[in-house]
Amino acid sequence: MRRSFDQRAREIGVTRPQWQVLSVLSRREGIKQAELAEILEVEPITAGRMIDRMQDAGLVERRADPADRRAWRLFLTPQGQNRVGELGPLSEEISDLALTGVSDADQAQLYATLEIIRLNLSGKPAADDNAGK
C-alpha cells in the first residue's frame, strides 16, 4: 500500500512526508511549526527542515505569529492546495483498494483498535472499556 502511494505521489511531485505535511495543513492551516512536529511525531528541527524544502518548492509558507514573535504559523500556498487536491483522491483510492471486501463493521472495529493502539503508544492509554475480553 505504501509503495503504491509513494510511486503515484512521486508522479505528482511530492514525497510521503511532504504529503503528511500537506494533509495536516489542509485540516489545520495556521498551526505553529512546533505543533506540526508534534502531530507528525518528529523532532522540531526535522519539521523545520521539511518546511524549509517545501517552502522553497512553493508548497507552504511561514507567517509570523502576531502573538509570539518567535513562532511561525504555517499555511498552504495555492500550489500546495493544488497538490492536496491531486493527492486527496489518490489517498482515498488506495485506502478503498486496501479495504476491498472488508465490511463497514469490520472497518469501524479496525479504526477503533488502531486508535487504542495509537493512544497506548502516545503515553495516553485509552480507557479500558474492554476489560475482561
Q: Which residues lie closer than 8 Å to 84 by C-beta, 6 or more apart?
A: 22, 23, 26, 76
pLDDT computed for residue 13 by the predictor: 81
> How confident is residue 1, by pLDDT bands cut at 50, 70 and 90?
low
Phi, psi for 30 (deg, rounded to 5): 95, 5
Mean pLDDT score, 68-74: 90
User: If you average pLDDT over every residue of the chain, what do you get?
Assistant: 87
Tell me the percentage of the chain whose pLDDT exceeds 90: 53
DSSP character for 32?
B
Mean pLDDT score, 100-121: 91
pLDDT computed for residue 60 by the predictor: 98
CATH class of 2-100: mainly alpha
